[in-house]
Amino acid sequence: MARLLGVVLVSLSLAAFADDAVIRLGSERAALRETLLRSCPEQKSDIEQLGSAAATVETFRKLDACGGNNEAFLVQYGSALNNADRFVDAEVVFRRAMNVRITEAAQVGLLVALSRQAKLTAAQQQDVATNIAYFKKRPCFRDDLCAALAYAAWHLLDKPLAKLSAERAMTFGYKGWQPWFVAGTIEAGGDDKARAISLLNEAKKRGGPAKDIDGFLEKLGK
C-alpha cells in the first residue's frame, strides 16, 4: 500500500510539473505573438495564427524575416516542417533555433528531424548521440515534448528511452495516439502481452493507424 501511495504521489507531482510547463508554454507563445506584432504589425493576420492549427509551413515562411532570430518562432517553424514530413528542412530550422538559444524543445525537434532521415552523416549521428544522452539523464517534462521524444527514440531504435518518454507523455495527459502506439509496440516484444494489447487498443481508439495496430494485435493473438 505504501509503495502504491508512493507511485500515486510521484505521478501527481509529475503531472503538476507538466501542468506548470504547459502554462509556461502558453505564456511563451503569447509573448512571441506580442514580440512579432511589435516588430511586424503589418503581418498581424499571419502572426495571430501562430500556436493554432491554422498556422501552416507557408505561414512561418512568410514570417521568417520577422521572427527568424527568435528561438520560440523557429521551434514552431521546425515543428510545422516535421509535421509536413519535410525533415531535412526541419533540421535546418532547428539548428538555426539552437544557434539562437539551446532549449529542450529545439533538441527534441532536431531529434525528430534526424530520426526520419534515411542516412545520417557522422556529424548528424554524433548530434543524435549527444541529444539522446542528454534526455537519458534529464527526462522530458512536457506532454508534447515527451510524445515527440518517444516518436524520435522509437525511430532511432532506442526502446528504453522511447518507452520511458511515451509513459511520461501518457502520465502528463497527452491527447494524441502516438505514446500509446510506441509503448504498445515495445510491450508487444516483451512478456506483458495484456498491457501491449491494452495500449494498442487505446492507440487505435485515439485515432492511430488501424491497419498497423491490427497487425500487431493479430500477432498478439487478439
Q: What is the pLDDT of residue 51?
A: 78
Examine residue 78 and state whether it is found in any structural domain, yes or no: yes
**pLDDT tens per residue across all 222 residues of the chain:** 333 333 333 333 444 444 444 445 556 778 889 999 999 999 999 999 987 888 899 999 999 999 999 999 999 999 999 999 999 999 999 999 999 999 999 999 999 999 999 999 999 999 999 999 999 999 998 999 999 999 999 999 999 999 999 999 999 999 999 999 999 999 999 889 999 999 999 999 999 999 999 999 999 986
Give domain status of residue 121, yes or no. Answer: yes
pLDDT for 9 equals 35
The pLDDT tens digits for 125-168 are 999 999 999 999 999 989 999 999 999 999 999 999 999 999 99
CA-CA distances (angstroms) from residue 133 to 93, 159, 179?
A: 22, 14, 20
The pLDDT assigned to 175 comes to: 92
Number of domains the chain is built from: 1
| Residues ≥6 apart with Cβ < 8 Å to 140 | 104, 108, 146, 149, 165, 168, 169
Q: What b/e string do you get for 61-97 counting C-beta neighbours within 10 Å, with b at 16 or more?
A: eebeebbeebbbbbbbbbbbbbeeebbebbbebbbbb
- H/E stretch holding 25 reads helix 2-39
In a domain, 209, yes or no: no
Domain region containing 48:
16-138
| Distance (Å) of CA 187 to CA 37, 73, 213 | 47, 36, 13
Grouping H, G, I as helix, E, B as strand and the rest as coil, residue 42 is helix
Note the pLDDT of residue 15.
42
Residues 6+ apart with CB under 8 A from 78: 90, 93, 94, 97, 106, 109, 110, 113
Residue 130 within a domain: yes
**Rounded Cα distance, 149 and 46, in Å:** 29
In a domain, 157, yes or no: no
Going from the C-alpha of 43 to that of each of 64, 75, 77, 92, the distances in angstroms are 11, 19, 16, 24
Residue 102 resides in a domain: yes
Cell of 171: 502520465
> Is residue 164 in a domain?
no
DSSP character at residue 174 = -
CATH number at residue 54: 1.25.40
Q: Rounded to two decimals, what is the model's pTM?
A: 0.85
- Asked if residue 202 is part of any domain, the answer here is no
Residue reference for cell 516535421: 82
